[in-house]
Amino acid sequence: MAIGTYGLSETELLGLFKAYHYDELLIDTAYRYGNEKEVSSAIMKSGYPKGRVRFIGKISYNQQINGRSVKEELQGTLNRLKIDIIDFYLIHSPRYEGFHETWQQLRELRNAGYIKEIGVSNFTKENIEKLYELSGEYPAVNQIVYNPFIQTEQTERLIDYCNCNNISIQIAMPFGGRENSSKLDEEKRKHIITHLCSCNLLSIIGTHRYEHMIQNFQVLEDLKSVYQP
């Protein structure tokens, strides 16, 4: 499970990170969220060991069309997060028609040691097949929106396709965003997390309340205690 940072202020992020007490912290960020500096500052102020933090970052459509190189945009993210290498770096969406060009540059940056894993976000089967056709490589990750409020057969088929091609799925907004999440009680959130874990799908959960964050991560701890010998 990862902590989503979309729409969160430094104060809200600090509250989450100070309450987080597990061995590893995975944080989902993106240039488009506009708070990469705040994420880094909140981690530092929280006292959580920086060496146990992993980051998901994303390059946006606007970054792809502004005339700067992907390396320059990635370096900006690394500088704002105050890290030398990022764990996951994704193309935020297939909106830019030349996304295969961005993909090629990501492959080069990974091979040069700036990125550990490269992937995509909001990509369809057809988008992914275009990448593979042009590069001979599937993305390591596809981050998609998936929750009880918008489940469709098309999304289920996309998940099956990714599983068949060893593409890990990261689930954004598993509770349907803030408006829908407020309709779910603790038991329903627990059911959603348990279902996603049983399908080997990583959840990215954004919340501004540390109490909800602890409740959500406790579900994972309980599942570990059940399935570990």
Residues 6+ apart with CB under 8 A from 8: 16, 35, 38, 206, 208
Phi, psi of 217 (to 5 degrees): -70, -25
| 200, burial (CB in 10 Å: exposed 0-12, middle 13-18, buried 19+) | exposed
| Strands in the chain per DSSP E | 2-4, 25-28, 53-59, 86-91, 115-121, 141-145, 168-172, 202-205
Give the end-to-end CA distance of the chain in Å, rounded to a whole number: 21
In angstroms, the CA 204 to CA 171 distance is 6
Q: Is residue 65 a contact partner of residue 92, using CB atoms and an 8 Å limit?
A: no
Q: Provide the CA 222 distance to its chain's centre, in angstroms.
A: 23
Residues labelled as active-site residues: 33
CA torsion 22-225-205-62 (nearest 10°) is 70
